Amino acid sequence: MDFRTPKSSRTVMTDLVLPSETNPLNNLFGGELLARMDRAASIAARRHSRRIVVTASVNHVAFNRSVPVGSVVTVQASVSRAFKTSMEIFIDVWMEDRFSGEKTKANEAIYTFVAVDDTGKPTEVPELKPETKLEIERFEAALRRKQLSLLLAGKIKPNEATELKALFDE
């Protein structure tokens, strides 16, 4: 099977935070941001796999900063690792101050998508070849995150979590 790079799946979505999308403190609703991240991650997964994709899990979300009404929000997503039929998508959220124009990282998330065929059956995806230092770091950490998730779900035994075990054996 062929391979792709994170760059080939990179998706950037930029939008304005409108009053109807905010809470009583005039900050973007968390659910609204989750939906934006899901759409960007979905596009990234589809670009990588060239298949129909479905959200399998939201593995991690960090709401580090509030995003006020009127802010310009940019959601950047790309595949950080591809497994047999699933893909981990790393998402960075940036906000642009409406007065200064300064861009600040506001949030990040990690989603997992599965590629499926027309009947909904999981289908294989291309391998991922990371190129940059950050891409390599995210790629390597993805296997540890997957093993931890499988371990917590009871789908693998502790001795099968080789990447996690290696962290403690050093």
**What does pTM read for this prediction?**
0.91
Query: Which residues in 135-157 are b (16+ Cβ under 10 Å) and which e?
Result: beebbebbbebbbebeeeeeebe
Q: What is the pLDDT of residues 111-124, one digit of tens each?
A: 999 999 999 999 99
Structure confidence by residue, pLDDT tens digits, 70-109: 999 999 999 999 999 999 999 999 999 878 889 999 999 9
Half-sphere exposure of 109 (CA within 13 A, CB side): 23
| Domains of the chain: residue spans and CATH | 3-129 (3.10.129.10)
